Amino acid sequence: MSEAKNLGTTGEGKRIEGFWIKLVGTDQLPAGASIRYNVHVQNQGWLSDTGLDTAINWIGDGGFAGSQGKGQRVEAIQIILVGEDGKQLPGYTVSYSVHGQDYGWSQGWKKDGEVAGVTGQSKRLESIRIKIEREGASTGTPVDEHGKLSVVGTQLTDESGLPFQIKGVSTHGLSWFPEYVNADAFQTMRDDWGINAVRLAMYTEGYNGYCVGDDNNRALLKERVINGVNLATDLGLYVIIDWHILSDGNPLTHQAEAIAFFDEMAAQFKNNNNVIYEICNEPNGGTTWSQIKQYAETVIPVIKSHNQDAIVIVGTPTWSQDVDQAAANPILGYSNLMYALHFYADTHRDSLRNKMSAAIDKGLPIFVSEYGICDSSGSGPINEGEANLWMDRLNQYGVSHIAWNLSNKNETSALIRSDINKTGSWLESELSISGQWLVKMLEKTQ
C-alpha cells in the first residue's frame, strides 16, 4: 500500500491498547514475506527483544499486539517486513508514523524496525499510519502518485484518468505572513495533516500587495511565489498561484499587471505538472460576470501560450459565490478551466451549497479554492456542523477544497494558535480549533 492507512483516533484522548496488522495483496510481495511488529506496553515494556536480528520472533501477520481488558496503553512500536529466510525483506520498505499523547504526529515517518513513540514518559499512542513501498518505485508524494491533472466534464482527474480531489491549505498574504512558506511547514502539512496542495495567496492591493508597492516589493513577492512553488514541487505537492484580488474588487483594475505576472510565471513553470493558476481570487463590489469573463478571456491565453494543458481557476462574482452566473455563460474555447466558489461555513449554508450543486449539475467544474469553518469575517463564530455538511457535499461531487489560512493571526480562520510562534512541526495541541478540525477531517477522508 503506497498510501498510508490509519488505525486509531486523534483528538479524543483515547489510547491504543492493542491491535492486529495483517498483510493483504501478498501477491505483490515475494513468496514467504511477512510483516512483524513489536510493541512497548504500559507496565510490561517491550514484548520482544528490540534487535532487528530477532524480528522473526516478533508478533506477525494478524497476531494480536498489546493487551486486552487491562486498560494498559501501547507506548511505542517497531514494524518490519521479513522474507522467507527471517531477515529484513530486501527491495521493500515499511514506513509508519504514530500520533502520541502531547506530541501528535511530530516524530514524522519511521521505517524498517525503527522505534516510533516514546518510552519511560507514560505517553499513550493514539493512532498509527502504515504504508509499504517498493524501493525505486514512486516516492508516494501526491504528485508522484497522481501526476498531471486534467478537467474531464466537471471532475478533476489524475494522470490515470481517475477522479481526484485536491485537499490543501492556503497561506495568508505573502506580504503579511511570509515565514510560513518554508519546507518544514509544507512537509508537516503533507505528512502529518494529509494535504496534497498549497495555495500561495499574493494580494494585489491589500497588505502591501503586488500592484501597490514599488519595484522592490514586486520583486520580493515574485521571489516568495517562486520559492513557494519550488518548495511544493520538491515535496511533491500541487501548488496554486493565487492572484489575490480583494480590496481592488474588479480584476480589470490591474489587468495589465496580471498579464505580465502570469506571463512570467507560466513561462517559468511551463514544464511543471503540479502548478495551477488562480487568476482572480474574489471579485466583489458589484463586479459583474461579464467583466470577469472579459478579464479571464484576456489572461487565460497568456498562460495557455506557455502550457496549453495548464489548469486555470476563474473567480466568480460576489466574493466567488455566484457560480450560477458562470454556469449560465461559461468561458469557451479552452480545456482545463475551473470556476472558484468560496464559503465560510457559519455564513454560507444551504442556499450556497444548493447553488453550487445546481451549477455542477449544469456542467460547471467548480473548485473551492478558499473556505473557512467560521463566518465570512474570517474571525467570527466557528460552526463545525455546517462545515461538516459542506464537506459531505464537496465529497459527494468530488470537489477540491483549500482551507484558509496558514498563520497564527488572532482570528478564528487561522490554523495555528495565536500564541504559537513555530512555523512548522506543530503539535496538534498547537493548532487552533479550525486547524484541529481540518486535521481530523483530512484524516477521515484519506
Contact 233, 273 (CB under 8 A): no
Q: Work out the pLDDT band at 1, boundaries 50, 70, 90.
A: very low
**Alpha-helical segments (H) within 235-349:** 255-268, 289-304, 317-320, 323-328
Among 422, 12, 437, smallest CA distance to 193 is for 437
- Lowest mean pLDDT segment, chosen from 4-8, 67-71, 226-230, 391-395: 4-8
Mean pLDDT for all residues in the chain:
93
pLDDT at 138 over 70: no
Contact 128, 76 (CB under 8 A): no
Catalytically annotated residue among 75, 370, 428, 430: 370
pLDDT at 436 over 70: yes
Kindly state the percentage of the chain with pLDDT values over 70.
97
Q: Work out the pLDDT band at 249, boundaries 50, 70, 90.
A: very high
pLDDT per residue as tens digits for the range 11-20: 788 999 999 9
Among 427, 422, 434, 9, smallest CA distance to 179 is for 422
pLDDT per residue as tens digits for the range 268-291: 999 999 999 999 999 999 999 999
3-state DSSP helix/strand/coil % of the chain, to nearest 5: 30, 25, 45
Q: Work out the pLDDT band at 10, boundaries 50, 70, 90.
A: confident
Decide if 282 is catalytic: yes
* Alpha-carbon distance values, 355 to 293, 341, 396 (Å): 19, 10, 15
Contact 313, 367 (CB under 8 A): yes
Confidence (pLDDT) at 104: 79
Q: Work out the pLDDT band at 381, boundaries 50, 70, 90.
A: very high
Question: Is the pLDDT higher at 1 or at 371?
Answer: 371
Average pLDDT over residues 407-436: 96
Residue 424 CA from chain centroid, whole number: 15
pLDDT per residue as tens digits for the range 65-84: 999 999 999 999 999 999 98
Confidence (pLDDT) at 136: 61
pLDDT per residue as tens digits for the range 308-338: 999 999 999 999 999 999 999 999 999 999 9
**What is the grid cell recorded at 391?**
464537506
Strands (E), 147-225: 150-152, 155-157, 167-171, 197-203
Average pLDDT over residues 401-414: 98
**Rounded distance between C-alpha atoms, residue 139 and residue 137, angstroms:** 6
**Rounded distance between C-alpha atoms, residue 35 and residue 49, angstroms:** 16
* Alpha-carbon distance values, 409 to 72, 108, 121, 405, 412 (Å): 40, 26, 33, 9, 8
pLDDT at 200 over 90: yes
Decide if 384 is catalytic: no
DSSP three-state, residue 162? coil
Q: Work out the pLDDT band at 2, boundaries 50, 70, 90.
A: very low
pLDDT at 3 over 60: no
**What is the grid cell recorded at 213?**
508597492
**Rounded distance between C-alpha atoms, residue 155 and residue 335, angstroms:** 12
**What is the grid cell recorded at 234?**
520538491
Residue 22 burial class via C-beta count within 10 angstroms: exposed 0-12, middle 13-18, buried 19 and up: exposed
Catalytically annotated residue among 282, 386, 411, 443: 282
